[in-house]
Amino acid sequence: MEQEKKTYKKKKNKGTKNRTIAIELFKQWEKLQRNGDAPVIAEKLGVSTPTIQKALAYGCVHQQVIIDGINNFFADRLQSERDEAARLKSLTATQES
C-alpha cells in the first residue's frame, strides 16, 4: 500500500489591526454607530466600505481625513436628531395648548 503525503495550506498571517485613534474617540464611535453606517460614511468620504468598517470596528485609521469625516458624520446626525426632537417637542406642546 502506497502512503500518501498530505499537504496542508499554511494559514496566512493577516496581522492584527492596531487601534490608531484615541480610546475615548473609539468608545464614542462605538456608542454612536448603527447598522448600515459604514456604507453611508464610505460614500460621503469617497473611500471603500471595508476601510470604514475597519475604522469603526477596530479604530484602525491611518488618514486624518477619514477620522474627521467620521466625526463630522456623527456630529451632523446628532445635530439633526436634536433638531427633530425639538421640533416634535414644540409640535406636541402646541397641540396640548
Domain ranges (residues) in the chain:
23-96
Mean pLDDT of the region 29-49? 95
pLDDT bracket for residue 2 (50, 70, 90): low
Distance between start and end Cα atoms, the chain: 94
Residue 1 has pLDDT above 60, yes or no: no
Q: Provide the pLDDT for residue 5.
A: 67
With 0-12 / 13-18 / 19 or more C-beta atoms within 10 angstroms meaning exposed / middle / buried, residue 20 is middle
The amino acid that residue 20 corresponds to is T
Q: CB-based contacts of 1: which residues, under 8 Å, 6+ apart?
A: none
